[in-house]
Amino acid sequence: MDRRAFITFVSGNILAGPLVVAAQQSAKARRIGLLIGSSQSFVAPYVAIFRQALRALGYVESESIAIEYRYADGHYDRLPVLIADLVRLKVDIVVTEGTPPTRAAKQATTTIPIVMTVTGDPVAAGLVTNLARPGGNLTGASFFFPEMAAKRLQLLKEVIPALSRVAIVWNPSNTVHGPVVKSVEEAAKALGIGVQHVKILVPADVDDALLAIARGRESLVVLEDGLINVCSPQIAQVAANRPELWRRAATFVDKILRGAKPGDLPVEQPVRFDLVINVSTAARLRLTIPPAVLVRADQVIE
């Protein structure tokens, strides 16, 4: 990959009102199942934030709560077996990472509450009927907007005015990616940028994808996905700032354990986005960030 490969980071923060955090501990530990589409190593920082948020709400692991972890490691075909195991264990709540795990959980149970994190548009994906009153046993926070991927491409064009071609790394089996790819293609057409599709359906596709990227020597737009996350050490990635979504997941868990129905809890979406520019990374890539872009950044990493 040459110096033109540059990543813009856009992060979302959830706007939420203050919550009463004094949690009443039950005599019996409540069991929470985590259904993760990516790997344990990738999601570890976010799971740590989730656990910290639960502690802040008054829950003590091995006393008032117990957490069961299930990781698909990017193999979505494993999700039905993993969620079936959590259902068999009769967990009190399932917390999911990403759209495919959320879909698998929804298909597996209509009674166990499901709290989703880092999903795409849950209405478009058929996960909930509407955001204000999702209905059923599913609620949580979503963060995946087609227009955000298009905005990243626009920023990339500002940084590299001569940019004429970009590679989109995505997973066609993730239903969220279709609308996002379409949005990027439309933005690319308007900007006069050609598009190369680099599709990753299974981990075995990574080597060919890397070869295609290296051969094309292009800039990248990498879409968020459990499988692609597993491959993140090998490919350049666009990373959303996801800790706040996991903190919010803990508050959903708290409300449900207190008796709230998932279907009555509105699905949350980001209302503010931050532009973070890593100047040191840009320097290593021999890129100069235009002042007009720097002044719009919410954070500049030196």
Q: What is the pLDDT of residues 262-287, one digit of tens each?
A: 999 998 876 666 677 777 767 766 67
Q: Give residue 281's pLDDT.
A: 66
φ, ψ (nearest 5 deg) of residue 290: -60, 140
Global pTM? 0.68
Evaluate if residue 109 carries a pLDDT over 90.
Answer: yes
CB neighbourhood size of 195 (10 A):
17
Q: What is the pLDDT of residues 23-35, one digit of tens each?
A: 343 458 999 999 9
| Token representation of residue 134 | 């999702």
The overall average pLDDT reported for the chain is: 80
DSSP calls for 56-91: HTT--BTTTEEEEEEE-TT-GGGHHHHHHHHHHTT-
**Residue 249 near residue 140, CB atoms below 8 Å:** yes
Evaluate if residue 237 carries a pLDDT over 50.
Answer: no
Compute the distance between CA of residue 214 and CA of residue 218 in angstroms, rounded to an integer: 8
Who wins on pLDDT, 236 or 185?
A: 185
**Residue 284 near residue 172, CB atoms below 8 Å:** no
Q: H helices within the chain, ranges in order?
A: 40-56, 79-88, 99-108, 146-159, 177-191, 206-216, 226-230, 243-257, 279-284, 291-294
- The residues near 260 (Cβ < 8 Å, ≥ 6 apart) are none
Evaluate if residue 198 carries a pLDDT over 70.
Answer: yes
Q: What is the pLDDT of residues 52-69, one digit of tens each?
A: 999 999 999 999 999 999
Domains identified in the chain and CATH numbers = 15-144+242-269 (3.40.50.2300), 145-240+275-301 (3.40.50.2300)
Per-residue pLDDT, averaged over 217-243, amounts to: 63
